Structure 1
Amino acid sequence: MLKILFGLLLLINGGLYAFQHGYLDALIPPSHDPLRLKQQLHPDQLKLLPLPVENGAAEKVEKVAAAEPEKIPQITEKASDVVACTEIGNFDAAEAKNFEAKLAALTLGDRLTRRPVQENARFIVYIPPLANKEAADKKGGELKRLGVDDFFVITEHTPLQWGISLGIFKSEEAARNHLAALNQKGVRSARVGPHNVAAPKFAYQLRRIDASTKAGLDKIRATFPRQEERACSNTAA
């Protein structure tokens, strides 16, 4: 009996040993052997087949590929286009009133301020006072016919009332050069004299001016050719 059991154990052990080492592969179907199945796969012979594409899908893919890249919105108003502060002056009372009336179209609000200006002694090119306003206006018409447009009738109650100012200059030399140019145009009654500022003068400061407003401002300032545009001073209005 013991010999039979011992023989069975030897047979079982021998069978396990043969199975583990592949001696029984010929007797076992390939589908039941994972190792055999792995050996039968040939990765180098595998080919990937494209999936079927629905009608119109390929066209959509092409349109997406051909679409323009996303555009970054452009900033229409650059910071460099905004003028922080500019000053125009110096106006006498009559010119200041006219200038303010023209600026009203720009609706500047609190961006516009006016400040008084104390001018140093200057020199004026002028035509001496005439009899009255009508005479002064008639003289102004003669100047326009000679091609002189840069002038204004002095209306303030000063010794030069109803005279005509042809320009105010910082130096006597500049004033005399301007007088010589007027003489060449046929203006004979003009002269040079000291300009003692008795009446107050005004300058206008304009802040946060964008490009479109600046263009409108330039058109208005062009009608006041004697007025200077400059950077704002530290003096607040």
Structure 2
Amino acid sequence: MVRWLLVVLVLANVGMWAWTHGWLAPWLQADREPRRLERQIDADRLRVVPPASPEAAPSAAATPASSSTGSSFLGSSSPAPASSASPSFPPASSSSASASTSPAKADRTVCTAFAPLDEERARRLQSALEAAGAEIEATRSEQGASYLVYLPPAPTAAEAQRRLAELRRIGRSDVFLIPDGPYRQAISLGIFRYEEAARALVARLAALGEPGALVAPRAPFTVRVHLQARWRDAAGAGTAGTLAAQFDAPVRDCG
């Protein structure tokens, strides 16, 4: 029995060796070498094509998509309305209206600001400015109890201006002339919530050569109105100086 198994294994190995070396090709349709090479047709005409570059790939892929899109539009039985392809333009009337109103706003380039006034004087000055053709912006401010540091009123307007110039020379740029009230024509040097801070400023001014500063408590509640006037041109703005003198309200350029 063992002898027969050995003979079968030997025959199987011989057959496998003959099949792998093509000896059985005439009787079997095998696709192995060299039989497959013998069945090739025009093998010398084969050509290896290099792969496409990354830059060319997107354009090549986009071409079929555009052509297929175009064919789908050509094959559509209901064409799109012509109005959807026409550009839309804004109405001519709206553009002309905006063009006509913009120069009026652009012309109002001259701005003058007035010193803070009490409500009654601010109301009368605002009416006069509007009658002269100015556009008015009014800002109302409320102040609680505080302490005012000031220089006593000057005997003349020229003396008051000289004091202002001297204070600005020593570094006090936030001073101004008080236009009305019990301290009219006095020079305000600062307003403080606490008396200690006001006294400290008086001491610093004395060290800088200005010993005449005083401290006064202010009313518990005061209202001041700040007015700004905008004019069409510099000639109209000249009216601001006349009205400022009439209402005793110092005026300056905005900014």
Same fold (TM over 0.5): no
Provide the TM-score with structure 2 as the length reference.
Answer: 0.38
